[in-house]
Structure formats: C-alpha cells, structure tokens
C-alpha cells in the first residue's frame, strides 16, 4: 500500500515537472516570436527611413545639380549679355568717334572754304592776305597782310601826335586808308588811340563806300613811317558814342 502511494506521488511529481517545463517552453517560444516580430518591424521601418533619406539626399543632389546648372546657365547668359553690351558700346563709341572725326573734318573744310572766300573778298587790301574768324567781342574777322610802311616826311626821333591836322595824324590817316585799299576822301576817321604800346596806334575808321567799320593796328617803323600790322572787321562802331 505504501509502495503504491509512493509510486503515485512520483508520477505526479514527474507530470507536474513536465507540465512546468512545457509551460516554460511555451513562454519562451512566445517571447522569441515577439522578439522576432519586433526585430522584423524595426528592420522594416529602418529600411523605409533609409529609403526616404536616400530619396531626400538624391532630391537635394538633383536640386543642387539643377541649381548649379541654372547658375551656370544664368552666368553664361549674363556673360553673353555683357559681351553683347560691350560690343554694342564699342560699336556705338566707334560710330560716335567716326561721326566726331567726320564733323571735325567737315568743320575744318568749311573753315578753309570760308577763309578762302574771305581772302578773295579782301584780296584787294594787299599782298599775302589771310583772313581769320574771330572770337573777340565786336570783332567779326581779323585780316593779316604784308603791307609796306606809308612813306613819312618826319624826322627822328619820332613822337606820336594825334591832333587833327598834324603831320603825324595825316600820315596815320593815309596809312589806315592804304591798309583797306580805300580812298581817304571816302573814309570817316572816327578815332585814333594808343593800344598801350610805344609806337603803336589803333585807328577806328569807316569806309563810306561799303559801310564797313574797321580797326587798323599800325606800328611806327623808324625812318620809314606808319606800317599797318593787321585790320579787324568790326560788327559795329564802338567809337561813335564819343561824338553823340
């Protein structure tokens, strides 16, 4: 009887031990399954993140490449525009320079033609007549020539005498008339005055034949007389006020 109880008790212990072992194995299998599932999920989501990061990096590279190409294209276009602008500016500058040169040449030709015409107009004044336009106030033209001195009857040492009727004044009138190839009887002698230099006199005269007003610059040449140096064609009589 005691042996049967003992055997029964031993079988019960073995069964209980086997049941506990089985239960423990089941727990371990469940934990292993959960662990595998967690690992699979972790791997899956990690793969998606890497793919997203790869796509993002590729997108950034594409954007950078596109921006670089765009910048290069824009820079190339800008350089081309700048080159075209520079070429246009060079062409415009060249055209302006050419136009300026042509204008200057045209002005020079017109000045030469005008000078030749004026020289022809005043050729009767004497030999080697040169006519220049003037920027001086009230002076239209300046006439230069190679005049002789008007023969004098005066002795040295010479002293200027501008009084009307004096020998010096008479010779000045004749020398002034000679400078414009005029007749002293048809000339009004408005004013004789010193130009601030010794032995130099300015004569303001009017040719009644053509109504022109002249200022004749004369120099006393020792033992020879008064010699015209140049003649200025005046715009108006600036000495007339002295007699009004």
pLDDT for 63 beyond 90: no
pLDDT for 76 beyond 70: no
Q: Give the highest mean pLDDT range of 40-54, 75-89, 111-125, 137-151.
A: 137-151
Q: Give this prediction's pTM.
A: 0.55
List pLDDT tens digits, range 118-169: 667 898 998 889 999 999 999 999 999 999 999 999 999 999 999 999 999 9
> How do the domains of the chain map onto residue ranges?
1-121, 129-243
Contact 217, 188 (CB under 8 A): no
Phi and psi (nearest 5°) for 115?
-65, -40
pLDDT computed for residue 241 by the predictor: 92
Q: What is the b/e burial string over 189-217, where b = at least 16 CB atoms within 10 angstroms of the residue's CB?
A: bbbbeeeeeeeebbbbbbbeeeeebbbbb
Strand locations in the chain, DSSP E? 130-133, 139-144, 187-194, 200-207, 213-221, 225-234
pLDDT for 102 beyond 90: no
**What are the angstrom distances between the C-alpha of 36 and each of 25, 33, 41, 50?**
16, 5, 9, 21
């Amino acid at each position: 009887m005691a042996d049967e109880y003992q055997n029964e008790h031993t079988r019960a212990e073995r069964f209980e031990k086997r049941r506990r072992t089985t239960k423990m194995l089941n727990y371990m299998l469940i934990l292993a399954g959960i662990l595998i599932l967690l690992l699979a999920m972790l791997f899956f989501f990690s793969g998606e993140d890497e793919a997203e990061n790869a796509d993002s990096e590729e997108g950034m590279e594409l954007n950078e490449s596109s921006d670089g190409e765009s910048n290069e294209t824009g820079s190339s276009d800008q350089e081309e525009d700048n080159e075209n602008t520079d070429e246009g500016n060079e062409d415009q500058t060249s055209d302006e320079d050419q136009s300026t040169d042509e204008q200057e040449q045209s002005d020079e030709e017109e000045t030469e033609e005008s000078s030749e015409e004026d020289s022809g107009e005043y050729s009767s004044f004497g030999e080697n007549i040169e006519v220049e336009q003037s920027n001086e106030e009230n002076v239209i033209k300046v006439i230069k020539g190679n005049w002789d001195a008007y023969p004098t009857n005066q002795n040295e040492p010479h002293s200027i005498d501008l009084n009307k009727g004096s020998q010096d004044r008479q010779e000045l009138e004749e020398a002034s008339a000679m400078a414009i190839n005029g007749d002293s009887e048809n000339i009004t002698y408005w004013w004789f005055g010193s130009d601030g230099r010794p032995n130099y006199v300015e004569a303001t005269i009017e040719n009644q034949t053509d109504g022109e007003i002249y200022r004749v610059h004369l120099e006393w040449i020792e033992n020879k007389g008064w010699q015209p140096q140049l003649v200025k064609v005046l715009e108006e009589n600036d000495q007339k006020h002295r007699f009004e």
